[in-house]
Structure 1
Amino acid sequence: MDLNNIKRVYFIGIGGIGMSAIARFFNEKGVHVSGYDRTETVLTRQLAEEGMQIHYTDDVALLDKQAELVVYTPAIPGSHSELIWFREQGYEVVKRSDVLQEITRNLYAITVGGTHGKTTTSTLIAHILRHTGYGCNAFLGGISANYDRNFWSSNKQVAVIEADEYDRSFLKLHPDVAVLTAIDADHLDIYGTEEEVQEAFIQYTRNIKAKGTLVAKLGLHRADELKGDNHVWYHLNDSKADIYATNIQPTEGGYMFDVIQKDWKLKNIYLPVGGTHNIENTVAAIAVAHLLGIEDDKIKTAIAEFKGIKRRFEYLVKNDYQVYIDDYAHHPEELRALITSARALFPDRKCIVLFQPHLYTRTRDFADGFAESLSLADEVLLLPIYPARELPIEGVHSEMIAKMISKPVQVIQKEEVLPWIKANSAPLFITAGAGDIDQFREPAQEILNGKGIIDNEEVKKDE
């Protein structure tokens, strides 16, 4: 597959976060890009504004029959008529991961894998490289709040790529630097067992190029089996790691801290993003930036300007009366990190979490873990399971989680969410999940901002 000589590309599932990054890659190279997606979204509208032709009906009459390359997402069912037609007509049909594979072959590739933290870590690495002038091509699994993009290009022959373990697609990548953040069980509908998940991540490190480097979290399962000619072990605050944070101080919803690596220290780093897990992600990003030889002051300045990723510990409201955080967390460990960090930053506020479980299989496999993590909140609201690509499983529903939560909990329908927010006090309110829970972001933000203004006026009147 010669990516340099392709003139027309068609995407099936163009609106996916990973697919849209590759669509933007081709579009910025002057390639004619078109595609299909199931529904129109903010992201697909942006792609259309950038010149891509998109339709929302699975209709062979609407596809690009002149396409030289067809890229599809594994989330598309095999029964999709456009996908079937392209295959039957003998077109070159590849997965998103096949395109990324070619990119990692041709560029100096920094890939970030792991069941948690990969979006923030990859975006932060890419941001540091862009902000400092080092330069990179970024293929991200989230929207950078700094640039409102999940892709950007550069003349620098360097790529930063989020390595997605879903469908084992990350095993096609060939990194020069591979970051590994976590090896917890997930996607058991694909892998079957936790051991198979671990095997896949071990294989991910086997694909590191000769003389390449593995930057991995200290304490991972089966760490002695991870490959790479060079290893850098990082951790939040464990001094046994090669690089770690110390002197951590919460400040204004973010943190000040130092980072130590053997004979090197970076002091007084300001991270304006919440979540202690994001300090650890920053340590990993600093390890990569230092490996590339970027100057200390430039690294610190870039981090201080980092605004985070949309839906990753994102502050939608933050004032003296109200804090509203939205997050993509859809795994028990992600929820644990989210709620623990939010409560540590705002310890005197009642914490209420609205969570939408994602996938029937994930809910079935991790119901105990979800209940344990959600019990860290003061009160929990559960939406019905978001099915995504799955059909219902008998006996699997949000009530499975609810009955094991030790705090006040209720399962509510989507139409009940905004009335609940209007009627109740939630000084620290969190929405979490990977489904369509993001539809409540803006209306909830407006309601909670309004409550803050009302509270503020009432305080002034009392004074």
Structure 2
Amino acid sequence: MTNNLRNIKNVYFLGIGGIGMSALARYFKFSGRNVAGYDRTRTALTDALQAEGIDVHYEDDIRKIPSSWNPEETLAVFTPALPHDHGELTWFREKPIGLLKRAKVLGLVCNEKSCIAVAGTHGKTTVSTMTATILQKSEAGCGAFLGGISKNFGSNLLLPPENSPWIVAEADEFDRSFLHLEPQLALVTSLDADHLDIYGDKAKIQESFGKFISQIKPGGKLVVKKGVELDTQKTSAQVFTYSLKEDADFTTQNLHLSEEGGYYCFDLKSPDGIIAHCRLNYPGLVNVENAVAASALALLAGASADDIKNGLEDYQGVVRRFDVRYKSENQVYIDDYAHHPAELSAVINSLKALYPNRKITGIFQPHLYSRTRDFAAEFAASLDLLDEAVLVPLYPAREEPIPGVSSALIFEKMKTEKKFLVEKSEVPELLRERPTEIVITLGAGDIDGIANQITEVLKSKS
């Protein structure tokens, strides 16, 4: 196994279509390496990689692995989502070729620079993308590995300028991936029970986050959302807090909806003073809180007050994160990646604040059998916040079925009378028949596959 990427000329990705894997693939391609890879499913993202000159195939077939690459100059990168008995993965295990997990490779790339790591069970993608959007145009500059497609950059990768020390990265707690990062600046947005299939209980999650913050480099800084249960004694870093409205090192003052509606304006309070008249041209209270977090990181990385204001105004969002897909006078459709009860509650409450007195219809696709089993009651309570709730069959992702676990488990615990349990294909017609005003699709699976159909239905009703 290699810990030195400088000698690597060829990189092969097992699971290249994943959001984190594809960002690394792009990084190595743009840095002059030969890049190829396998994925089980063809998607818009794998099509984009192929258009950028990366060879991608979709059959587990060792004959598709480039045979002309020198093993000593080759690295294979794999995702833990891949089955253990995968044919190509087994082939690489038996060869004298470096074989590393995605998280390890991300650490090798990021730890060479001053890494800004965004951790937390929710909000990582938005906060890291906002931070990169602010810093990109600042004097400091930055690169970024993002967990979603930034609408500003049209990519999940922002190449670092040669003169910039900073690289922004999502610090993913799944499979303890973030323990490969040694950041200069770190931020923790939240620490809820999740990935219990990996951790077992919340105490183990807290322990892992404690280890993560202990790895902040000497002289580094940590920003934590106020109220998060994290033992900051585990780090020697200087600790700051942030909040949407509570008293904290970084928070908002004079927070209000703009006169034309839809977007929020506020003054940003920081330890260095007030940055007045900030405007986030992206909807949702949850995103104002994310903006406070991103602004804190950017300021600590050397951004100016003007950089903060310009970056927040420029921010266009991330695909599938409070993603406004259609908007007319009487119909709005938003698509969101929320897949944990706390995320659902945050997004739905943001919608209620943004569109008071309007009917909100949510379509939720649960993600993972284990998460559905562990949080069925909490999911039901979050979905009860909706005026009308639609559940579709769960998305299994990497998991095998668990007896007795399905979307019906959540559905039966919901108290609202306006609830429907239907096939995903039946959703557009259901929306056509029902009165709608604000519609949101929710989930980390493939629920966005019906986004275009939903958009057409709502257009016909506008």
Structure 1 unaligned regions, length at least 5: 453-463
Report deviation, 1:166.
0.7
Over 3 Å counting, the alpha-carbon distance change for 1:25 and 1:344 in structure 2 is: same
Q: For 1:135-150, list aligned pairs within 5 A.
A: 135-150=141-156
Q: Secondary structure at the match of 1:11?
A: strand
Question: In structure 1, how many angstroms separate the alpha carbons of the residues matched to 2:244 and 2:217?
Answer: 27
Q: For 1:80-159, list aligned pairs within 5 A.
A: 80-153=86-159, 154-155=161-162, 156-159=164-167
Question: In structure 2, how many angstroms separate the alpha carbons of the residues matched to 1:140 and 1:31?
Answer: 20
Check whether the contact 1:214–1:228 (CA below 8 A) recurs between aligned residues. Answer: no
Match of 1:265 in 2: 274
* Equivalent position amino acid for 2:76 in 1: V
User: Which residue, 216, 222, 225 being the options, matches 1:208?
Assistant: 216
* Equivalent position amino acid for 1:115 in 2: T
Report deviation, 1:2.
2.2
Provide, for residues 342-401 of structure 1, a one-character-per-residue CA deviation record: whole Å limited to 9, x for no partner: 011011211110000000000000111100000000111001111001011011111111
Match of 1:400 in 2: 409
Match of 1:243 in 2: 250
Q: Secondary structure at the match of 1:304?
A: helix
Match of 1:71 in 2: 77
Match of 1:357 in 2: 366
Q: Secondary structure at the match of 1:365?
A: helix
* Equivalent position amino acid for 1:161 in 2: A
Structure 2 unaligned regions, length at least 5: none
User: Which residue, 9, 12, 31 being the options, matches 1:10?
Assistant: 12
Report deviation, 1:299.
1.5
Report deviation, 1:225.
3.8
Question: In structure 2, how many angstroms separate the alpha carbons of the residues matched to 1:228 and 1:50?
Answer: 42
Which shows bigger deviation, 112-121 or 133-142?
133-142
Match of 2:191 in 1: 183
Question: In structure 1, how many angstroms separate the alpha carbons of the residues matched to 2:271 and 2:35?
Answer: 48
Provide, for residues 302-355 of structure 1, a one-character-per-residue CA deviation record: whole Å limited to 9, x for no partner: 110101111111111122111111100000000000000001101121111000
TM-score (norm 1): 0.95
Check whether the contact 1:108–1:157 (CA below 8 A) recurs between aligned residues. Answer: yes
Report deviation, 1:263.
4.2
Provide, for residues 109-140 of structure 1, a one-character-per-residue CA deviation record: whole Å limited to 9, x for no partner: 10000001111000000111113353211100
Report deviation, 1:224.
4.2
Report deviation, 1:255.
0.6
TM-score (norm 2): 0.95
Question: In structure 2, how many angstroms separate the alpha carbons of the residues matched to 1:303 and 1:249?
Answer: 15
Match of 2:207 in 1: 199
Match of 2:352 in 1: 343
User: Which residue, 422, 438, 445 being the options, matches 1:435?
Assistant: 445
Q: Secondary structure at the match of 1:317?
A: strand
User: Which residue, 421, 424, 427 being the options, matches 1:411?
Assistant: 421
Provide, for residues 229-280 of structure 1, a one-character-per-residue CA deviation record: whole Å limited to 9, x for no partner: 21111111111x1111121112332210111123411111111122212111
Question: In structure 1, how many angstroms separate the alpha carbons of the residues matched to 2:435 and 2:404?
Answer: 33
Match of 1:460 in 2: none
* Equivalent position amino acid for 2:89 in 1: L
RMSD: 1.2
Question: In structure 1, how many angstroms separate the alpha carbons of the residues matched to 2:395 and 2:8?
Answer: 37
Over 3 Å counting, the alpha-carbon distance change for 1:423 and 1:16 in structure 2 is: same
Q: Secondary structure at the match of 1:182?
A: coil
* Equivalent position amino acid for 1:38 in 2: R
Question: In structure 2, how many angstroms separate the alpha carbons of the residues matched to 1:263 and 1:18?
Answer: 35
Over 6 Å off, 4+ runs:
none
